[in-house]
Amino acid sequence: MAHKCEVCGKGPQVGNQVTTRGKKKYLGGVGTKITGITRRKFKPNLQRVRISTPNGTHKSIQACTQCIRSGAITKVVRKAPFKVPELAS
């Protein structure tokens, strides 16, 4: 299973991790130097959530938090375990 959001298709992106050392000039140093550049992956924040599909069934998918927060999916509504009985007056 790929590390990919099943709603929007967001997957890992590649970039660089830049390592610097030295004191900045405005702090009184001679300036920062780049001492290493290595490749790295930026992975999406995927969460396993149970959603309700349009035809009424429930299924579990992996969705990124951006899709969950934006309302692109509808979570399964769980019933309350019990109801407090009302007092008859």
Q: What is the length of the chain?
A: 89
In the chain, what are the domains?
A: 13-70 (2.30.170)
Q: Residue 10 belongs to what H/E stretch?
A: none
Q: Do the beta carbons of residue 31 and residue 59 sit within 8 Å? A: no
Read off the pLDDT band of 77 (50, 70, 90): confident
The residues with which 34 forms a beta bridge, in sequence order, are 20
Chain segment 22-69, per-residue pLDDT in tens: 999 999 999 999 999 999 999 999 999 999 988 889 999 999 999 999
pLDDT at 1 exceeding the cut of 80: no
Q: Residue 25 belongs to what H/E stretch?
A: none
Residues 5-24: b if buried by 16+ CB within 10 A, e if exposed: bbbeebeeeeeeeeeeeeee
Around 33, how many Cα atoms within 13 Å sit in the side-chain half-sphere?
4
Average pLDDT of 60-89? Answer: 87
pLDDT at 89 exceeding the cut of 80: no
